[in-house]
Amino acid sequence: MVRLLQKRVGNLPEEVRKKIQTLSLNQLESLGEALLDFTAIEDLFNWLESHQ
């Protein structure tokens, strides 16, 4: 998942990587679908904030 996100939005801060590692399988699946719409790292930040 991290590689896909980096390809989409660029380098991920370590803090963001750690948050991703704590996501449940359902959350990871949801993130996988959502990342298709991401255009900037802020989209990822917003998604993580609303799904933690």
Q: Residues 14-27, buried b or exposed e (16+ Cβ, 10 A)? A: eebeebbeebeeee
Mean pLDDT over the full length of the chain: 94
In this predicted structure, the answer to whether residue 40 has a pLDDT above a threshold of 90 is: yes
DSSP letter (8 states) at residue 51: T
Determine the average pLDDT of the residues in 33-42. 95
Determine the average pLDDT of the residues in 22-50. 95
Work out the pLDDT band at 52, boundaries 50, 70, 90.
confident
pLDDT digit string (tens) for 1-27? Answer: 899 999 999 999 999 999 999 999 999
Q: Which two tokens stand for residue 19?
A: 């948050």
Determine the average pLDDT of the residues in 41-46. 95
